[in-house]
Amino acid sequence: MEPFRTVTSIAMPLDRTNVDTDQIIPKQFLKRIERTGYGDFLFFDWRQTPAGEPIKDFVLNDPRYKDAKILIAGKNFGCGSSREHAAWALSDFGFRCVIAPSFADIFFSNAGKNGIVLVRLAEEQVDKLLQNAQNIPGYQLTVSLQDQTVTDNQGFKASFEIDSFRKFCLLEGLDDIGLTLRHAAELDKYEARHDEAAWLQAK
Amino acid sequence: MIRQDHDNIAESWQLRAEGFPEGQMSTTPKTLFEKVWEQHVVVEPKGEPTLLYIDLQLVHEVTSPQAFEGLRLAGRKVRRPDRTIATVDHNVPTTIEGRLNIVDQIAARQISTLRQNCADFGIELYDVNSREQGIVHVIGPELGITKPGMTIVCGDSHTSTHGAFGALAFGIGTSEVEHVLATQTLPQSKPKTFRIAVEGKLPQGVTAKDIILAIIGKIGTDGATGCVIEYAGSAIRSLSMEGRMTVCNMSIEAGARAGMIAPDETTFTYLKGRRFSPKGDAWERAVAEWSKLPSDPGAKFDRELVIDAAALVPYVSWGTSPGMVAPVTAAVPDPAAAANDLDRKSFERALEYMDLKAGTHFEDIPIDRVFIGSCTNGRLEDLRAAARIAAGRKVSGHVHAMVVPGSQQVKAAAEKEGLDKIFKEAGFDWREPGCSMCLGMNPDILSPGERCASTSNRNFEGRQGRGGRTHLVSPEMAAAAAIAGHFVDIRNWEVREEVTA
């Protein structure tokens, strides 16, 4: 996983609430067995007509936001299905950070496993950033994970909360299995006792 | 998120180890969730999430291939194949010919990849030709693999279904699937607790599906984010296990990490004698342990909500988010009522997508398709309820209606009762088990513009097929809509022939 320190980039405004993972990556692309190559399918149904023509007024097709690494969206981003393909698609497309008032739990976890920083800001702050990104040409944001801040060059500055362990893993680009196996001895001991609980056996 | 830090990890470990069974060492009143959580704490490293033991992982074809690939790349094994089961459900066609020869080669490759992975890593697979194949959240309970007090995960958000048994069950992403395969644990921050009590008697025609639609409509699709919901109250206790599963299933649609219901006699009666339920003395011991799980009197929840069951009605969703629901007797609401600008835009966008105008009465909305099935409402009781409505009647001429049993066992039991005949005589299409048109990964999809009354769980844009329009309802409401050709208030339905089961 790529470590996340500070990202400065054009910010893309997606002024929709409850953006669900079915929209982020529609079902037909979940049949693949690969972990890469989902960027082309990000927001597929919003990006192009059934005939394959680009939908011009959808923000991903707007040349002003080309190469954006930061996405700004409405509340409850990533709700619905547990598909990690949503995080893979955002990451593969080039996003390193999503800013929204709230995120769904499973998506929150999936994003973290793929080096995407999710920034929760107050609804008023997100509204302000959405407006700025829509109205100010070339509008850029800087997200510093170390400092836990979002800033622009217009005087906007907000700080955000993040779990300290999650922050550590994102800063260092660490994934979990290796970290868990540091506790292998405790796990062996726990599991031996736990297996005695026959009423919790699967089969 | 709440983090429990212990100053002395060694001491807390010692306490747990000596106080076995875990979770019983304190006299502080505890919730059902807390009891299950505490019993599964492997270690609580300072400044890190709790490492939680997972009793059971359910695996299906869609969210697992990359996890197995990760294991291979790292040279890891599946730690506990005996705590892992797999089935195929999302992709499988629901016609016999379709299943034997899957035309979609990408889907076929995903299914054959699961077969290979299960063979390579020693995992039991309930394959297409198994008499126990079915939707993963239907077969776990019916095989008696799902048990009270367990921690259960699956790479599928509707894993919350299993919480109906008093298990802590939640959906995870593919990286976490790999983590559990490798370690049988997950690092987890402790969620908050949210008790929702539904008190009183449900009116005639109002179902478990209506309870959960009402809850989501009330608290919103992010209303329980970061929480585990415990459903309680007399209306919940009086539900069958099937009804409880319907309620817990859609916890995720309220944003919850999981939903749980305390195990009781209804739970034990359901589980007794199932294939993987404990037998003999082990059964008695299990019931004794499971009986300790319900929340203690005086246990504290982070949030509480009480709902009056008598005030509930049949609901229909009208928009593109499961919180967009209204009573069947109402009309499509006006976006002007939205709380703020962004909400209003989402509201207007939903009406545009659904091709609905504010003020239209639900009973005046014609439908094209009906889908009865899914992990929400694809169990035997759901099919019985729908058959009772359909018996002696005919599906409307302009409607195509299909019934997809949740599992092979559900299908066999329904056929034994003659439900398939009732459906077929009424003009319903009777299919093979799978997720089917709940998410349309197999050939069962809506065409653009088609409007569907569906017993599934999500009405997102394009969920059942690009351009398709989904209205979430109970099995009874779906069956009645199929017959009438539009939504109807099931409370006014005249049952022609009693279905005897």
pLDDT tens, chain A, 203 aa long: 889 999 999 999 999 999 999 999 999 999 999 999 999 999 999 999 999 999 999 999 999 999 999 999 999 999 999 999 999 999 999 999 999 999 999 999 999 999 999 999 999 999 999 999 999 999 999 999 999 999 999 999 999 999 999 999 999 998 889 999 999 999 999 999 999 999 999 99
Give which of B4, B15, B24 is closest to B293, Cα–Cα: B24
Q: Tell me the per-residue pLDDT of B429-452, one tens digit each, with 9 for 90 and over.
A: 999 999 999 999 999 999 999 999
Q: Is residue B319 within 8 angstroms of chain A, CB to CB?
A: no
Least CB-CB distance to A82: which of B172, B285, B286? B172
Identify all chain A residues contacting B141, using CB atoms and an 8 Å cutoff: none
CA angle B301, B304, B308 (to 5 degrees): 145
Q: B76 and A191 in contact by Cβ < 8 A?
A: no
Q: Is B152 in contact with B142 (CB distance < 8 Å)? A: no
The predicted pLDDT at position B16 comes to: 38
- pLDDT recorded at residue B13: 31
- Comparing CA positions, the residue from A36, A77, A43 lying closest to residue A61 is A43
Q: Do B69 and A35 touch (CB under 8 A)?
A: yes
Answer yes or no: do A23 and B45 touch at CB < 8 A. no
Report CB contact under 8 Å: B189, A163: yes
CA dist., res. B440 & res. B447, Å (int): 11
pLDDT at B1 over 90: no
C-alpha closest to that of B156 among B283, B63, B56, B32: B63
Instruction: Give B 329-358 residues with CB within 8 A of chain A.
Output: 340, 342-343, 345-346, 349
Cis? peptide before B21, omega within 30° of 0: yes
Give CA separation, A179 vs A84, A88, A176, B171, in Å.
20, 22, 5, 21
Token pair, residue A108, equals 């929150």
What is the C-alpha to C-alpha distance for residues B457 and B246, in angstroms, rounded to an integer? 9
Residues B222, A102: C-beta atoms closer than 8 Å: yes
Q: Give the gap in angstroms from C-alpha B318 to the nearest C-alpha of chain A.
A: 15
Of B42, B49, B55, the CB nearest to A165: B49
Contacts of A103 in chain B (CB under 8 A): 225
Give the separation between CA B429 and CA B426, rounded to whole angstroms: 9
From the list A33, A84, A105, which residue is nearest B225 (CB)? A105
Q: Compute the residue count for chain A.
A: 203
What is the interface size between A and B, counted as CB pairs within 8 Å? 217
Cβ <8 Å between A35 and B257: no
Among chain B residues, the shortest Cα distance to A162 is held by B1
- Written as one letter, the residue type at B289 is E
Crossing angle for the helix pair B174-183 and B65-74, to the nearest 10 degrees: 50
Put simply, the answer to whether A33 touches B178 (Cβ < 8 Å) is no
With CA atoms as reference, report the closest residue to A105 among B186, B137, B187, B224.
Answer: B224
Q: Is B160 on the interface with A (CB under 8 A)?
A: no
Choose among B475, B285, B289: nearest CA to B383: B475
User: Which residue type sits at B9?
Assistant: I
Mean of pLDDT values over B9-28: 44
Nearest residue to B250 (alpha-carbon basis) of B89, B374, B151, B409: B374
Residues pairing with B471 in the sheet:
B453
How confident is the model at residue B501, as a pLDDT? 54
Q: Which of B175, B252, B349, B436 to mutate to test the interface with A (most CBs of A within 10 A)?
A: B175
pLDDT-derived band at B25 (thresholds 50, 70, 90) equals: low
pLDDT of B7 > 70? The answer is no
Contact A199 B289 (CB under 8 A): yes
pLDDT tens track for B198-245: 999 999 999 999 999 999 999 999 999 999 999 999 999 999 999 999
**Nearest alpha-carbon partner for B362 in B470, B488, B223, B238:** B488
Residues 6+ apart with CB under 8 A from B75: none
Site from A16, A23, A55, A82 to mutate, B interface, most B CB atoms within 10 angstroms: A82
> Which of B102, B159, B111, B104 minimizes the C-alpha distance to B133?
B111
B285–A199 CB contact, under 8 Å: yes
pLDDT of residue B4 exceeding 70, the answer is no
Q: What is the residue whose two structure tokens read 């048109």?
A: B437
State mean pLDDT over B122-128: 97
DSSP structural state of residue A116: P
Residue bearing tokens 């700004």: A72
For residue range B328-370, list pLDDT tens digits in order: 999 999 999 888 888 899 999 999 999 999 999 999 999 999 9
| B172:A35 CB<8 A | no
For residues B372 and B483, is the Cβ–Cβ distance under 8 A? no
Chain A interface test: which of B221, B375, B438 (most A C-beta within 10 Å):
B221
CA closest to B65 among chain A residues: A33
B10 touches chain A (CB under 8 A): no
| B91·A105 Cβ contact <8 A | no
B156 touches chain A (CB under 8 A): yes
Q: What is the pLDDT of residue B82?
A: 98
CB proximity B20 to A under 8 Å: yes
Lookup: tokens for B393: 């009647």
Q: What is the pLDDT of residue B14?
A: 35
The yes-or-no verdict on residue B278 having pLDDT over 70 is yes
Which stretch of DSSP H or E encloses residue B69? helix B65-74
* Residue A153: CB atoms within 10 Å: 11
Asked if B487 and B356 touch (Cβ cutoff 8 Å), the reply is no
Please list every residue in chain A whose beta carbon sits closer than 8 Å to the beta carbon of residue B252.
80, 106
Q: What is the token pair recorded at A92?
A: 């593969």
* Closest to B264 (Cα-Cα) out of B290, B242, B230, B286: B290
Q: How far, in Å, CA of B410 to CA of B194, rounded?
A: 32
* Cβ partners under 8 Å of residue B409, min gap 6: B131, B132, B134, B139, B142
pLDDT in tens, B175-184: 999 999 999 9
Chain B 379-438, residues with CB within 8 Å of chain A CB atoms: none
Number of neighbours of residue B497 by Cβ within 10 angstroms: 12
The stretch B94-120 carries a mean pLDDT of 95
Comparing alpha-carbon positions, the chain B residue that sits nearest to A106 is: B172
In the DSSP assignment, the letter for residue A158 is E
Decide if pLDDT at B498 tops 80: no
Question: Best interface-test mutation with B: which of A15, A23, A31 has the largest number of B CBs within 10 A?
Answer: A31
Instruction: Check if B77 contacts A (Cβ < 8 Å).
Output: no
The first and second tokens of residue B250, run together, are 């859609």
Largest separation between any pair of C-alpha atoms in chain B: 70
Tell me what pLDDT residue B339 has.
84
Select from A21, A27, A29 the residue whose CB has the most chain B CBs within 10 Å, as the one to mutate to test that interface.
Answer: A27
Round to whole Å and give the CA distance between B320 and B332: 13
